[in-house]
């Protein structure tokens, strides 16, 4: 009898509306975007001189739809990601930049500084700065000559220091050297460069394919995989790719002259560049790949970036410096991490670049 009473009681409560309604899950919180100032150049100008500002934004769960630049002196400057202006007022400007996502949230402001020199000051003029001859054998000499005007002080580095406004100087560098002349007055400084090349230094080239057993990817959830894939899975889990190169054959004391990272053999799935933004490459000496190698947030210091599927090898002075650092440290490996600006797109579609273990190539040129 008791067993029959319980279902009857439930039916009566449903009819009477006594049972509580199912709770409605809260809407996910929006993650605000992040603003980046890429450059503000030049940092010191005369009144009326053009200044170029470049910035971008990244949003981990949406899209950047608006931009705002403002000056501590002139107020709002632009609503574009990048712009040029020659209308800055005299004075020391703090310039702030922020971005807005498609949910209406603004990022925190980031800032840079630009000074417009008072009184319409005219910067110095360097009419010439040359090295003759520009190429010499080891142990030979070259003559630097220069001519500057409107100057309070002139200096040449490395190793020379203050000099007259015009003159010559004999130099005998033991390696290829770029001499920098700096001319200064009240309005600011200008520089000029002259290079003396030491000839007949053999250049060695090595072509290194990535080590398939050390390549791989790490997902945001901590899963580690063998394939160097970068982007997002169908379920929206972000992936960062990792590549490892054996540089043990480069001798101690070598000078890295160039470095090029070739990712053109990769296969693209979905639309990672249109949905996730730019692909960036970072120096990341991870050793043995683990779950903690996934990096949260777009860090600074990318060796190179691209907004399209790579069609030619990457090359930059930052890549050269990163390889040189590992060679100088006596490291046996040079390793990199790749990631997109945004983690995912939440559309139930896998969007990623499959680089292929052992397929990417690093080409290095060096001097003994």
| SS3 of the chain: helix, strand, coil, percent, to 5 | 10, 45, 45
Q: What is the pLDDT of residue 1?
A: 47
46 is in which domain, residue-wise?
A: 34-120
Which CATH number characterizes residue 168's domain?
2.60.40.10
d(CA 49, CA 117): 10
Same domain for 273 and 211: yes
Answer whether residue 172 is part of any domain. yes
In tens, the pLDDT along 135-186 reads: 998 889 999 999 998 888 999 999 999 999 999 999 999 999 999 999 998 8
Q: Single out the residue in 149, 168, 198 at which a domain terminates.
A: 198
Q: Count Cα neighbours of 143 within 13 Å in the Cβ-side half-sphere.
A: 4
Same domain for 267 and 166: no
Same domain for 341 and 224: yes
Same domain for 319 and 218: yes
Same domain for 152 and 45: no
Long-range contacts of 296-302 (CB under 8 A, 24+ apart): 297/34, 298/34, 298/36, 298/58, 298/339, 298/341
User: What's the whole-number average pLDDT of the chain?
Assistant: 90
The answer to whether 234 touches 170, Cβ cutoff 8 Å, is no
Close Cβ partners of 337 (under 8 Å, ≥ 6 residues apart): 240, 241, 242, 281, 282, 283, 284, 286, 293, 295
Q: Single out the residue in 92, 120, 148 at which a domain terminates.
A: 120
Q: What is the pLDDT of residue 122?
A: 72
Burial string for 146-174 (b: 16+ CB within 10 Å, else e) reads: bebebbeebebeeeeeebebeeeeebebe
pLDDT band at 120 (very low <50, low <70, confident <90, very high): low
pLDDT band at 188 (very low <50, low <70, confident <90, very high): confident
pLDDT band at 22 (very low <50, low <70, confident <90, very high): low
Q: What is the pLDDT of residue 131?
A: 95
Q: What is the pLDDT of residue 47?
A: 78
In tens, the pLDDT along 92-118 reads: 999 999 999 999 999 999 999 999 877
Q: Single out the residue in 65, 100, 120 at which a domain terminates.
A: 120
Quick one: average pLDDT of 189-202?
89
Q: Is the pLDDT of residue 18 over 80?
A: no
Close Cβ partners of 110 (under 8 Å, ≥ 6 residues apart): 35, 36, 37, 96, 97, 98
The answer to whether 289 touches 242, Cβ cutoff 8 Å, is yes
Q: Within the chain, how many helices (H) and strands (E) appear?
A: 3, 29
Alpha helices in 71-212 (DSSP H): none
Answer whether residue 178 is part of any domain. yes
In tens, the pLDDT along 33-92 reads: 999 999 999 998 877 789 999 999 999 999 999 999 999 999 999 999 999 999 999 889
Answer whether residue 64 is part of any domain. yes
- % pLDDT > 90, the chain: 75
The total of structural domains in the chain comes to: 3
């Amino acid at each position: 009898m008791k067993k029959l009473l319980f279902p009857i009681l439930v039916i009566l409560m449903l009819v009477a509306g006594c049972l509580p309604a199912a709770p409605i899950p809260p809407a996910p919180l929006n993650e605000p975007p992040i603003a980046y100032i890429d450059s503000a150049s030049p940092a010191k100008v005369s009144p009326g001189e053009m200044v170029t500002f470049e910035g971008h934004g990244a949003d981990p769960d949406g899209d950047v739809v608006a931009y705002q630049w403002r000056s501590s002196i002139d107020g709002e400057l632009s609503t574009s990601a990048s712009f040029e202006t020659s209308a800055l007022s005299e004075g020391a400007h703090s310039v702030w930049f922020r971005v807005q996502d498609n949910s209406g949230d603004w990022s925190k402001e980031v800032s840079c500084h630009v000074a417009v020199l008072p009184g319409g000051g005219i910067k110095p003029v360097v009419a010439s700065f040359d090295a003759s001859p520009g190429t010499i054998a080891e142990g030979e000499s070259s003559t630097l000559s220069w001519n500057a005007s409107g100057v309070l002080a002139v200096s040449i580095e490395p190793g020379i220091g203050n000099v007259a406004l015009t003159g010559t100087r004999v130099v005998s560098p033991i390696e290829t050297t770029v001499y920098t002349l700096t001319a200064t007055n009240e309005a600011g400084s200008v520089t000029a460069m002259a290079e003396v090349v030491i000839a007949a230094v053999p250049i060695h080239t090595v072509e290194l394919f990535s080590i398939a057993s050390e390549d791989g990817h790490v997902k945001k959830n901590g899963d580690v995989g063998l394939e160097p894939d970068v982007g997002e899975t169908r379920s929206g889990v972000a992936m960062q790719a990792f590549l490892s190169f054996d540089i043990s054959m480069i001798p101690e004391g070598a000078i890295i002259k160039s470095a090029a990272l070739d990712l053109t053999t990769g296969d693209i799935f979905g639309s990672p560049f249109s949905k996730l933004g730019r692909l960036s490459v970072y120096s990341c000496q991870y050793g043995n790949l683990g779950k903690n190698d996934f990096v949260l947030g777009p860090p600074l210091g990318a060796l190179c970036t691209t907004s399209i599927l790579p069609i030619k090898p990457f090359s930059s002075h930052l890549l050269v410096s990163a390889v040189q650092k590992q060679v100088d440290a006596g490291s046996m490996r040079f390793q990199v991490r790749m990631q997109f600006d945004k983690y995912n797109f939440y559309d139930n579609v896998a969007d990623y670049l499959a680089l292929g273990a052992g397929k990417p190539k690093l080409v290095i040129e060096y001097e003994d």
